[in-house]
Copies of this chain bind each other. A is one copy, B any other.
Amino acid sequence: MFSTVKDMSIESTLISKERKNAKFPVEEMTNIWDGGKEETELRRKIVKLFEDDPVLKSPPICTMTREERFTKATRKSAYIYRNLIPNNGLHPGSREFEHFSRAMPVENNLLVHMIAFIPCIKSFGSQEQVAKWLPLALNLNIIGAYAQTELGHGSFLRGIETEATFDKKTQEFVINCPKVSSMKWWPGDMGLNANHALVMANLIIDGKEYGMHAFIVQIRDLSTHMPLPGVTVGDIGNKLGFEETDNGFLYMKNVRIPRENLLNQNSEVKPDGTYVKKASDRLTYGSMVNLRANFATHVINLLAKACTIAIRYSAVRRQGILEPGGAEVPVLDYTLQQHKLIPSLALVYASYFAGVAMKKKYKIFAKNMAKGNLSDLAEIHALSASFKAIVTDQCTSGVEVCRRACGGHGYSQASGLPFLLCKITPSCTYEGENTVLYLQTARYLVKCASKQAADLPESIAFLVQPIQDMKGSITSLDNLIICFKNSAALCVQGVSKKVNEMSNKGLAMHEVWNKSSVQLVKSAKMYVMQYIIGAFASFVKEVKCSEPIKEILQDLCCLYGLHYINTHSGEFLKLGVLSAHHCTLAEETEIQLLEKLRPNAVGIVDAFDFTDLSLESCLGTYDGNVYERLFDMAKLSPLNKEKVHQESYRHLRPFLLEGRDILEGVKSKN
């Protein structure tokens, strides 16, 4: 509809220049990121398979309505799980399968079915049950939601109100939501696509409550997909993020399911109503740790995308002059812009490699667990809880920093940044609300603080050991690690002391915890920060790579630590771990690191190796032609279908015609 606008792009020249100036082998960094050269190749193969598939093509997300997005996401997912995956031999558990998250379309559905419904069948079901339900679920012969959260209950699981009452006569469980607030609310895929739900409900036998258990409940007719009698189910409406998904509500009134639909790996109800406990529920906690580490990888990926977009754009967006009389400069030349974007990049690296370390830790734990050794459960639970919380918090802030660093265009859906923000933000709330998670970690740490080092896991013992001395420059990586370790120890000890004092004064424990909660959260954060910086530093020390890469990784690791110190200097000063002089040095060093890393910034984001298709961003494409892409995308706005938007215009038309008469009258008078 629009006349063509032709233009030579200075932007593509600018970004090519950035690439020429990068001082390290980008491909080698990509290999490190992927875990090896072969992994990079494999990942690229998978990504290509997805991106070249004509069935998976669809219009840009930013031009679609929510309803279109929902339908498209369902279509794509059905195709991927039933055609693309089996036809290409990509079996779950295979190495190829691990590269999925990079290859999957930006929007897809049936995710909760895949990552919650299916794993929970495995976690909670007996062998027999798994044999029955798992193949059905994997083939999309049934689609299941994980129905735990209720309208009135989230984090506090004991508060869940849905009831499953055993009816001996019919050998059925009768599922009921006693109140409006007890209906299931939020589960993904549940509103429209699922025909089954794994319902968490209070088991009641002969009037006695046995607490939360998992039940498989059919909610829609297998032939017509209509809701079954007693079932009220639907989409909960529009949301911030995950617009493509049918997060649902599910109200159940006297819905009857056979006795066999209680998933009974850990506990069973006999036909006569006898309740039998078979195994500890603690075992199922273990798998949460792995889920959280994998989930962190996904979240970090979103920030890596935001960094790619913002840094590439900042390299081509020119604004203002630095030198009097000079040309306009790319905004990436401004220290303040570097101060926004490069620490976000450091955050991606630190969280990612700490996540890799956490997965290794989990593998060891899983081996022990398989032998019945659960001794590390509390430690690994505390670590993974605070890790999930801080990574989602920091990466969410990071995406928002990247988005705002793009000025006006960061608000445009065509930039891809609002999409990333809306995709990442909910991670602060789902899979454990962050504040709740920090508190869980902190309570564990306070318990540890009253023990002897010898009685504590190796990774925790430093909390009760003597403070270490820093030698040499505060800004060296070794000293940064000591600085965070000391701070974490002093922080936990400080709050533990406060808790004891208050409790000794006779304050009830629940009040003590409540009154200390602000400090408890701080101590959990400092604890997990020392873990992240320590894990990243260990990786950097051990990784085999070329010198320029090693240097960049070291700089990113220092920057991660220094940026945190500089934005939280009060914590370190109050604990006496750093002096005001140290802080000044830390600030100066951060600025120096920004300057040093700046020429490599575009190279570092290139190393993430996102395809243009996976970024879905007019600002982030590899070639830097941002303005032409924005214009092309704007033309696709649904509001531009006609040159005059008649629906809107008709409300203005009478007044504008009056205006025409006045203006043309004026003209004829002249």
Contact = CB atoms under 8 A, between A and B. Distances in A.
Interface in A421-441: 421, 425-426, 428-430, 433, 435, 439
Given A151-B631, A155-B319, A408-B149, A421 B336 contact: no
Interface residues of A, number: 148
Interface in A611-660: 627-628, 630-631, 633-640, 643-645, 647-649, 651-653, 655-660
A163 to B, nearest CB: 15
Contacts of A638: 66-67
A462 to B, nearest CB: 23
Give how many copies assemble into the complex.
2
A320 to B, nearest CB: 4
A70 interface: yes
Interface of A is mostly: helix
A74 B651 contact: yes
Nearest to A340: B435
A124 interface: no
A631 B181 CA distance: 9
A276 interface: no
Interface stretch (A13-21, A267-275, A464-472, A565-573): A565-573
A152 interface: yes
Contacts of A637: 234-238
Contact of A656 (B225, B249, B435): B225
B152 A664 contact: no
Interface in A233-257: 234-241, 246, 249, 251, 253
Nearest to A143: B652
A66 B571 CA distance: 45
Nearest to A192: B645
A87 interface: no
A193 B652 contact: yes
Nearest to A519: B587
A315 to B, nearest CB: 14
Interface stretch (A1-9, A282-290, A554-562): A1-9
Interface of A: 1-3, 5, 7, 62-63, 65-67, 70-71, 74-75, 78-79, 82, 132, 136, 139-143, 149, 151-156, 159, 179-181, 183, 185-186, 191-193, 195, 220, 222-227, 232, 234-241, 246, 249, 251, 253, 317-324, 328, 333-336, 339, 404, 407-408, 410-414, 418, 421, 425-426, 428-430, 433, 435, 439, 508, 510-511, 514-515, 517-519, 521, 566, 568-574, 576, 580, 583-584, 587, 591, 627-628, 630-631, 633-640, 643-645, 647-649, 651-653, 655-660, 662-664, 666
